[in-house]
Amino acid sequence: MILMNKEDVIEALKQCNDPELDMSVWFLGLIYNIDVNDDNIKIKMTFTTPFCPYGPHLIDMIKSKLKEAGAKDVEIEVVFEPKWEPSEDVKMALGI
């Protein structure tokens, strides 16, 4: 059994790119909280917009990457409070 830690989860999240922006969900700041209990992962996250057409795809991608990395169970809670705001680094990368 592979026991995961928060750093393992973050590394997997860095491999999950938003299909529209082609940047990782971690870099974009879409991940609000990570709770690791052995190989059970709970994540609280948001989308760039509540109407994100890629939301289900992102969730599936995150679950898949985390299970590839050794997670047994992945629970993702999607929230819209607080509203997502891009960081200065993200704004620079997007040219805004």
Give the ranges where 1-96 is alpha helix by DSSP (H).
Answer: 6-13, 25-28, 55-68, 88-94
Domain membership of residue 1 (yes or no) is: no
Range of the domain at 76: 6-94
- The total number of structural domains in the chain stands at 1
In a domain, 41, yes or no: yes
43: in domain: yes
Is residue 18 within 8 Å of residue 28, measured between CB atoms? yes
> Is residue 67 domain-resident?
yes
List the CATH number of the domain containing 24: 3.30.300.130
pLDDT at 4 (0 to 100): 78
Task: Identify the helix (H) or strand (E) that includes residue 34.
Answer: strand 31-37
User: Residue 77: inside a domain, yes or no?
Assistant: yes
pLDDT tier for residue 39 given thresholds of 50, 70 and 90: confident
pTM assigned to the model: 0.91
